Amino acid sequence: MPTDEQRAFWNAIRANPDDDTPRLVYADWLQEHGDEPRAEFIRVQCALERLPHDRRKSRTERKRLEARNQELQEAHRDEWLAPLVEAAVGDLPQPERDEWAGRLSFRRGFLGWVFLTLSSAARLADSGYEPEPMSFVEITRRGGAEGRHLEFVAAVARWPFGACVDRLNLGGATDEEVIALVVGGRLTRLRKLDLWFGTVSEYSVSALARSPVLAHVCSLDLRDNRIGTAGARALAESPFLSRTCSVYLSANTTGEDARALLRERFGEHLKLS
């Protein structure tokens, strides 16, 4: 478990994702507390990121930093990833665990894109594991969730650290799953929410439109569902959706009056065909 001091550093890194300063301050703290390899790793990766794009001008320094980056990962990667791997996919056979871990990569000292199936995300949510800052986390329905989709969606939606999730793909979603997402209410930093080709109706969409789950969403895909006029109107009047959010609503039964409201709210960002 991280200390309160570590949590404060992590929060600063999450709040300033494009700024190396909080990462380098955390590296100093790690070194002072005996974790020299991770401290050096953060510094090396941040330095690599800052090198000029012209590889010829930075050839010698890049070569040195890339070699050290490789050495540190070969020596410590498994150790740094072990808690996350155990929490998220520890129930899988070893070859599948290794394959999942092998797709993980670091950028500027922390994990970049992290892909989770709905079942592995639910396992992670139930584990109590508190993740370090991660650049992009995507959760998708596919794989290993047969018959337990609603249970897993509810677990992910109430995850205390759900604010780390950037994209949630629940293609084939039901009203019950959307309501679970709203009631859980912890996925408050979503940027993309995919709910296409499901049985979502205006009942759950109206609740979703009033939920802060949509506060940062810039792409909401509701194609091929059962959303009628009331649901479309609720989206048009949502206090959370940005006017620049791309909203996909083709193949639903929205009336023309509601579509007019949607066009007024979202303009060219509304996709009805």
- pLDDT single digits (tens) 41-81: 999 999 999 998 777 778 899 999 999 999 999 999 999 99
Give me the sign of the Cα torsion angle 115, 85, 150, 179: negative
pLDDT at 143: 63
**Distance, CA of 77 to CA of 111 (rounded, Å):** 11
| C-beta of residue 247 within 8 angstroms of C-beta of residue 220 | yes
Torsion of CA 156, 129, 142, 149, to 10 degrees: -40
**Distance, CA of 131 to CA of 111 (rounded, Å):** 10
Percent of the chain scoring above 90 in pLDDT: 93
Kindly give the pairing relationship between strand 134-140 and strand 110-117.
parallel
The domain locations on the chain are: 1-81, 109-271
Instruction: Quickly state the pLDDT bin for 144 (edges 50, 70, 90).
Output: low
pLDDT at 145: 63
Q: Mind spelling out the 3-state secondary structure of 81-117?
A: HHHHHHHHHCCCCHHHHHHHHHCCCEECCEEEEEEEE
Residue 273 scores a pLDDT above 90 = no
pLDDT digits (tens, 9 = 90+) for 242-270: 999 999 999 999 989 999 999 999 999 99
Arithmetic mean of pLDDT, 166-171: 97
Give me the sign of the Cα torsion angle 243, 246, 247, 251: positive
* Close Cβ partners of 248 (under 8 Å, ≥ 6 residues apart): 196, 219, 220, 221, 222, 223, 271
Residue 208 scores a pLDDT above 80 = yes
Nearest to 237 by CA among 250, 247, 223: 247
Q: State both tokens at 206.
A: 């109206």
Q: State both tokens at 122.
A: 């639910």
The predicted model scores a pTM of 0.94
Pick the CATH number of 109-271 from 3.30.930.10, 3.80.10.10, 1.20.120.420, 2.40.50.140: 3.80.10.10
pLDDT at 142: 76
